[in-house]
Amino acid sequence: MEYQGPDILSKLEAKIEAKRSELEQWFAEKRSEMDMPIYGSVDIRDAHWKVAVVDANQYPAGFNNLRDGDIGEHFRHAIGDLRHIHIWPENHTRNPAYEANVESLKVILENEGYAVTVGILDVEEGLPVSIQGAIPDLILLNNDLTSGPLPDLGVPILPPPQMGWYQRRKSDHFKAAQPLLDEVADLLEVDPWLLSTHWIVSEDKCLEKETCRTLLAAEADNFLTHIQAKYDEFGIQGKPTLFVKNDSGTYGLGILEIQSGEELLNLSNRKMNRLTYGKGGADAENFLIQEGVPSGLSWDSMVIEPVAYCANGRVGGWFYRANAKKGEMANLNSPSSIFLSPSEIEDDSIRSRRNHWHMLVAEIAMLAMAIEAKN
């Protein structure tokens, strides 16, 4: 493996058990102060020396990859006694994987006793949307609203439309999460870096201009120096890596992996076009520069990363992205990845890590998502 370091998380796992009651009280107090997101998902990286949420999705599209868990029960707590739930999907419903996601979400809700309909509805000004004359009790958005906000539908909508990518920024989540991570790190008496990925935002960079690329490259080099100092502090071997992303959401597009600012100066036209192209064709000028966290987890010769699916702010299901063609630092959100359920991975250490550190950072991320929506 290219990256090697001490297995700090295993050594510190006992801290979570020792502080279990205090952590539960902390979560209870935080949840009482805010409206928890009806659902969301997070991608988690576990390097053995640190664990971090690297992406937080308010409109998850992988329910078809869940094969076990109790997410339906958490939906029940979030939705309560409403009867008719209408799922408002993405426009690109010809994608078979996405269609399977929506169908799986529909089945989860139906199994909890809800009447569920699906589709993008016609909107008449001044009238609530309806399906054959029936007005739903709740619109459940499964559309990230990249193209813009929804009109007034006359019906409650969750998650809040203001969480759509037409105005949300990836950095909004990490900004909301950091104070929470600092509090938990203080409670556990650990360095907050062990629970997070460091990041900066580089704004107003029109990369077709050499001056903008030069400034962005300098920011990247300074940031790499900072990460190298943390590697030295904790005895980690390997060259720090950064991921450069469109801060407005990428949908897997335009993610660039670099280990020096010089790589930004020498971008090919193809890579530059991918980096500046966002979902829906919107050009990117604000870039999230994020510390890369290698995945120290593997199964059956594949690099794996846990993905947590949550409802009502609680983890209700897991799956793992797995890829035999990708390295430990690579972005696994790619067509060559497969998905494994926890029951397919017979590894006690991974199971223990999931029930401790992965669960912890996932549910902190849901608190951060609630703060985003409130702001």
User: How high is the pLDDT of residue 270?
Assistant: 75
User: How high is the pLDDT of residue 318?
Assistant: 98
pLDDT, tens only, 294-309: 999 999 999 999 999 9
Q: Which residues pair with 202 in a beta bridge?
A: 287
**Average pLDDT for residues 197-224, to the nearest whole number?**
85
Residue type for position 304: I
Query: What's the count of helices (H) and strands (E) in the chain, helices before strands?
Result: 10, 14
82 token code pair? 């409403």
Q: How far is CA 222 from each of CA 8, 125, 229, 261, rounded to the nearest angstrom?
A: 26, 52, 11, 9
User: How high is the pLDDT of residue 250?
Assistant: 52
**Average pLDDT for residues 127-136, to the nearest whole number?**
93
pLDDT, tens only, 159-200: 999 999 999 999 999 999 999 999 999 999 999 999 999 999
Residues above pLDDT 70, as percent of the chain:
93
User: How high is the pLDDT of residue 216?
Assistant: 86
Contacts of 12 (CB under 8 A, 6+ apart): 188, 190, 194
Asked if residue 246 has pLDDT above 90, the reply is: no
Q: Supply the pTM of this predicted model.
A: 0.94
Asked if residue 285 has pLDDT above 80, the reply is: no
**Average pLDDT for residues 338-361, to the nearest whole number?**
95
Q: Which of 213-222, 263-272, 348-357 has the lowest mean pLDDT?
A: 263-272
b/e burial code for range 233-262 (CB count within 10 A of at least 16 → b)? eeebebebbbbbbbbbbbbebbbbebebbe
Question: Which pairing describes strands 138-142 and 84-89: parallel, antiparallel, or unpaired?
Answer: parallel
Domains of the chain: 8-61+168-374 (no CATH), 67-163 (3.40.50.11280)
Band (pLDDT 50/70/90 cuts) for residue 242 is very high
Looking at 57-169, list the stretches that DSSP marks H as alpha helix, in order from N- to C-terminal side: 71-79, 96-111
CA distance 16 to 23: 8
Contacts of 335 (CB under 8 A, 6+ apart): none
User: How high is the pLDDT of residue 266?
Assistant: 86
| H-helix or E-strand spanning residue 265 | helix 262-265
Band (pLDDT 50/70/90 cuts) for residue 268 is confident
Band (pLDDT 50/70/90 cuts) for residue 111 is very high
Q: Is the Cβ–Cβ distance between 155 and 129 less than 8 Å?
A: yes
Q: Which residues pair with 298 in a beta bridge?
A: 303
pLDDT, tens only, 13-70: 999 999 999 999 999 999 999 999 999 999 999 999 999 999 999 999 999 999 988 9
3-state secondary structure 302-344: EEEEEEEEEECCEEEEEEEEEECCCCCCCCCCCCCCEEECHHH
Band (pLDDT 50/70/90 cuts) for residue 358 is very high
- Mean of per-residue pLDDT scores for the chain: 92
**Average pLDDT for residues 1-18, to the nearest whole number?**
92
Q: Does 179 sit behind a cis peptide bond, omega within 30 degrees of 0 on the bond before it? A: no
Terminus-to-terminus CA distance in the chain, angstroms?
42
CB atoms within 10 A of CB 51: 25
CA distance 157 to 40: 15
Band (pLDDT 50/70/90 cuts) for residue 251 is low
